[in-house]
Amino acid sequence: MTASIRAYTKVRRAPKPGSMIGVRLQDDALAALDAWITRQPDAPSRPEAIRRLIETGLRAEGEARDAGRAV
């Protein structure tokens, strides 16, 4: 019997120290997250998508604060 060949390889993030948290999302928030993922060119995993959205939100908040306006 021949060994099976994987058709794709998922790119994984290197493990970094940090705290693992659990997040429970309502159906509408999860659907919005999944829709955002499908619009990304690399289709990140849900955890990676949440990390990216948090980073984007925090960056926007910092830029707004620097510009002197509230978010």
Residue 50 lies in a domain: yes
Structural domain range at position 60: 44-71
- Give residues with Cβ within 8 angstroms of 13, minimum separation 6: 48
In a domain, 36, yes or no: no
Q: Is residue 62 part of a domain?
A: yes
- Report yes or no on 55 lying in a domain: yes
Burial class (CB in 10 A: 0-12, 13-18, 19+), 48: middle
pLDDT tens per residue, range 1-49:
566 666 666 677 677 788 888 999 999 999 999 999 999 999 999 999 9
Which residue in 56, 53, 47 sits closest to 12, CA to CA?
47
The string of pLDDT tens digits covering residues 40-69 is: 999 999 999 999 999 999 999 888 888 886
Provide the whole-model pTM: 0.67
Query: Does some domain include residue 51?
Result: yes
pLDDT for 54: 96
Q: What is the pLDDT of residue 27?
A: 98
> Does residue 9 sit within a domain?
no
User: Based on the structure, what is the number of domains in the chain?
Assistant: 1
Asked, for residue 52, whether it belongs to a domain, the answer is yes
